[in-house]
Structure 1
Amino acid sequence: MFRVLIFIFFISSLLSCKKENKGIDITGTWQLVSAVTIKEGVVTNNFNSANEKVIKIINNDHFAFFRHDFNKGKDSATATFVSGAGNYTLTGNKYEEYLEYCNYRDWEKNSFEFNLEIKGDTLIQTGFEEVEALGIAHEIVEKFIRLKKN
Structure 2
Amino acid sequence: MERLFNKSILMLALMALVSCGDKEKAEKNETVIVAAQNEIKGSWLLVYGETRTADTVEVKDLSDTEFIKILNEDHFAFFNQNKDTAEGFYGGGGTYSLKGNVYTERLDYIGAKELRGHEFTFEIAIKGDTLIQSGVEDVPDAGINRHIVEKYIRIKD
> What's the TM-score bracket when you normalise by the shorter of the two chains?
0.7 to 0.9
For each residue in 1:109-140, what CA deviation from the matched residue of structure 2 results, as whole angstroms up to 9, or x when unmatched? 10000000011100000000011111110000
2:138 corresponds to which letter in structure 1? E
Q: CA RMSD in A?
A: 1.3
Q: Give the corresponding residue for 1:135.
A: 143
1:31 aligns with 2:45: yes
After superposition, give the CA deviation of every residue in 1:18-62 in whole Å (9 maximum; x if it has no partner). xxx7804100000000101111132111x2221100000000000
Alignment counterpart, residue 77 of structure 2, candidates 64, 71, 92: 64
Q: Please, which runs of 5 or more residues in structure 1 have no aligned partner?
A: 1-20, 74-78
Q: Give the structure with the larger helix fraction.
A: 2
* Aligned position for 2:116: 108
Structure 1 runs, 4 residues or longer, greater than 6 Å off:
none
Please state whether the residue corresponding to 1:36 is helix, strand or coil.
Answer: strand
Output the CA distance in 1 between the equivalents of 2:96 and 2:152: 17
Deviation at 1:104, TM superposition (A): 2.3
Deviation string 1:69-126 (CA, Å, 9 cap, x unpaired) is 01232xxxxx211100000000000000000001223211100000000111000000
What is the correspondence of 1:67-86 to structure 2 with a 5 Å cutoff?
A: 67-73=80-86, 79-86=87-94
Give the whole-Å Cα distance in 1 for the aligned partners of 2:79 and 2:94: 13
The alignment status of 1:94 with 2:107, answered yes or no, reads no
3-state SS, counterpart of residue 26 of structure 1: coil
- Secondary structure of 2:141's match? helix
**Identical-residue share of aligned pairs (%):** 41
Q: TM-score, length-normalised on structure 2?
A: 0.75
